[in-house]
Structure 1
Amino acid sequence: MKSNLLVLAGTATIVASACSFTPREQAEGKFEYLEVGLQQQVEPAPNKKLPTPSNRFKVPEANQTGPLGKIVPVLAPTLVWPLANGSRLEESEQGAHIYFDEIEGMSNVEQYVWQGALQALRIRNVGIVEQEDRKRIVTDWLEESFTHGEDDDNVTIRRRIALNFDTAEHGRTTTIRSEVVEQQVDAENNVEVTPTYLAFRDQNAATAALNMVVSEIAITQMAGVAAVDDDGTVAVDMGFDEDGYPSIVLGASFGFTWGLMQEVLPELGFEVDDYNRELGRYYTIYGVKKSFWFSRNVDGKLELPRGDYEIKVTGDQKQTTVTLFRDGNPLSAAQVMQIFAPFAAEIRSQSSL
């Protein structure tokens, strides 16, 4: 008899624990607020009068509906990270989104943000199944796995996420909005995942994809790149340096450009004989290969006479100029124009982000 009582007690415990299981994303409690209603009229106390009615404390009707009671997800959602310079949020707006405002030194915020998104997906080997230039990107399947339910069954969700881009008419602000556009769910043992919880995880996935893009843009900014071309490389143009001399202009910081020149100059045919970073100078020989015993002529990529060249690199965090001097004189605008194409091509080749 005693053993039978123990078996019954154990069975009752198991049944009670099974009935009391609550998924960690589900709210717990009695939810008395669901039964609360509005009192239509307040009755005054005897021999008292009510004040003149007003709508001062009236609770307005909600213009949208949402989950109530135990179906309310209680887990903290993933937040958008405004890590990049010029990025910001509008808390009053729903969904995963972020704004990028044009900052000093950024010539085209729309192009910069678009290339940042492509770069983020490319580095992480995320495929693209739909692309509309500077308007929309739809990723290939992204997979997420987690355990769910009382028995910790495995659930796998595959999603395609759309990144939608919108640039204001004035051209100084670009918005990215992220959303799940396709979804496939594979649940072990057919464990139930409520639509509310699926929507919660979809929102987190869309936010994570957006954060991936924002982080990549922030990394590009930290590297000192302020402007990019259509192919995702540093923007290069012709212009003038601080002294008014014809120069090659890069949309990047001095530190980025200085290091880049160490790769670019030898590929063009310059041999760096000495340098001074404090002065922003490379002292080079063009078209000549020097060794311990002798020197020999080599073919460079530029139409320049062989000999010594001083290369001046000056700039700030947003823009840098590269000026070439021969015999103490800067190259003319015509000479800079003549060497610009191969010089810029090598910069783009070495600066692919």
Structure 2
Amino acid sequence: MKTSLALVSSLGILALTACSSQLEKETASGNYDYLETQQSGKLKIPEGLEEPDYSDDYALPPVGEQADTSLLGRNITVKSPPLVLPLVTGSHVEEGSRSATVLFDQVDDSQPLDKAIWNSLLSYLDRQQIGVDKFEPETGTLVTDWMLITSDEDSAWYDWSSSEEKQVGRRFEFNLTMKPHGRSASLSVNLRDYMATRGDDVDAEVNELEERREEVAILNQVITHYEYQIQLEDSRRMARIREGLDTEMGFNADGEPAYVVSATYDVAWPRLLLVMRKMGFDVKDLDKSTGLIFVSYTGDNESWWNNWFGSDEELLEEDDYRLKVAEAGPEKTVITFMNQESEPFEANQVSDLYKPFAEVMAEDNLDI
């Protein structure tokens, strides 16, 4: 008899636990008797008594015309509100915005901002094996194919042998709006279609809160993928900077003697700064947009120079110099040495400096 009672008690506890569905976990605990409460009227003051002063500090604002009046009691979820996470450098959100929108400012000039955003979005969809139903970059619109998620949900607690399969499908529309100057953009997402099936039940409706939750969730995944791609590309570029680069003698666009490095501008520029430091130059000023670097040679690295030339040979005077860096093709960057009056080095000076310059430029694992 005691064994039977223990078994019944255990089953009762298990039943109560099973009845705690995911929906109950997302709604407020306790009762909802407050829904039956009537609005009290204004305090009635008997005739002859002075009416007290009233304060509106705690007055509830009126319900807006667009408010969903069905969100009462169990229909209100207690989950934290969805927030757009601007993880990408140069991204932000507008304060008070109710839409699932993120704003980007261009911080990388290697490609147009709109192209970078579209490429990242398409890469994310491809990685998640999500099809594209419509893509019109000229109008700033992309509509996804159905995104299907299937999960098994337990049926009633007393039916241990069966479970119901729930399938949720979503289609989203992404809209990219560029500022006229092309260096700022906003990416927004809207839940275009929704359908959930559980057995023979089909639900194609979703309330405003859940709709925003769906939109913010997919937008945050896109932003996270975008940031991941940027970090991955930065790691690759950093590894490329640390690797040795081949250098040959050549000419710049004006026909002046210069060095031609086998790398893109974005790789050759930071690599050159490391090379200058290794060769005993101090960088005083620089401007990547114009490709100008202002350096000073003090001869502090004299022992390094002596490995290449005799101590009595003065290869370079202690003075200020300038370098001009410019693109010379898809994987070529040209570097021109100049004096402080911006006069390019003579061909013999470029030839004399070539061997030590090329050796340091080709050195692997140069300290960053």
TM superposition score normalised by structure 2:
0.53
> One-letter code of the match for 1:181?
R
Which residue of structure 2 aligns with residue 28 of structure 1? 29
Task: Answer yes or no: is 1:218 the counterpart of 2:227.
Answer: yes
Question: Cα offset for 1:18?
Answer: 10
Q: How many aligned positions are there? A: 259
Task: Give yes or no for contact 2:101–2:188 (8 Å, CA) kept in 1.
Answer: yes
Distance 2:129 2:324 in 1: 35
Task: Give yes or no for contact 2:268–2:333 (8 Å, CA) kept in 1.
Answer: no
Distance 1:131 1:56 in 2: 51
> One-letter code of the match for 1:114?
W
Distance 1:26 1:149 in 2: 19
Give the root-mean-square deviation of aligned CA atoms.
5.1
Question: Cα offset for 1:324?
Answer: 6.2
Distance 2:204 2:30 in 1: 19
Deviations 1:313-347 (A, max 9, x none): 979xxxx98216897799xxxxxxxxxxxxxxxxx
> One-letter code of the match for 1:254?
V
Match of 1:164 among 163, 175, 180: 175
Which residue of structure 1 aligns with residue 320 of structure 2? none
In the superposition, relative to structure 1, how do residues 111 and 196 fare at CA in structure 2: closer, same or farther (>3 Å)? closer
Q: Aligned runs of 1:1-353 on 2, under 5 Å? A: 17=16, 22=21, 23=23, 24-44=25-45, 48-52=49-53, 55=56, 57-63=58-64, 64-66=66-68, 67-76=71-80, 79-103=83-107, 105=109, 108-133=112-137, 135-148=140-153, 150-151=155-156, 153-187=164-198, 189-190=199-200, 195-196=205-206, 200=210, 203-222=212-231, 223-224=233-234, 253-254=266-267, 278-279=275-276, 322-323=333-334
Question: Cα offset for 1:31?
Answer: 2.0
Task: Give yes or no for contact 1:98–1:176 (8 Å, CA) kept in 2.
Answer: yes
Task: Give yes or no for contact 1:131–1:138 (8 Å, CA) kept in 2.
Answer: yes
Task: Give yes or no for contact 2:195–2:203 (8 Å, CA) kept in 1.
Answer: no
Larger RCO (alpha carbons 8 Å, 6+ apart): 1
Question: Cα offset for 1:101?
Answer: 2.2
Q: Larger Rg: 1 or 2?
A: 2
Task: Give yes or no for contact 1:313–1:321 (8 Å, CA) kept in 2.
Answer: no
Distance 1:34 1:244 in 2: 85
In the superposition, relative to structure 1, how do residues 280 and 114 fare at CA in structure 2: closer, same or farther (>3 Å)? farther
In the superposition, relative to structure 1, how do residues 220 and 250 fare at CA in structure 2: closer, same or farther (>3 Å)? farther
> One-letter code of the match for 2:121?
A
TM superposition score normalised by structure 1:
0.55
Distance 2:167 2:17 in 1: 24
Question: Cα offset for 1:163?
Answer: 0.9
Distance 1:253 1:246 in 2: 16
Q: Which runs of 5+ in 1 are unaligned?
A: 226-238, 259-274, 282-311, 331-353
Equivalent position SS for 1:145:
strand
Deviations 1:9-64 (A, max 9, x none): 99x969x9599655333443212332344333123489752235565553221214
Which residue of structure 2 aligns with residue 351 of structure 1? none
Distance 1:19 1:215 in 2: 35
Distance 2:137 2:204 in 1: 36
Q: Percent identity?
A: 18
Q: Which runs of 5+ in 2 are unaligned?
A: 157-162, 236-251, 279-322, 337-345, 351-368
- Bigger mean CA deviation after superposition, 174-183 or 20-29: 20-29
Equivalent position SS for 2:194:
strand
Task: Give yes or no for contact 2:324–2:335 (8 Å, CA) kept in 1.
Answer: no
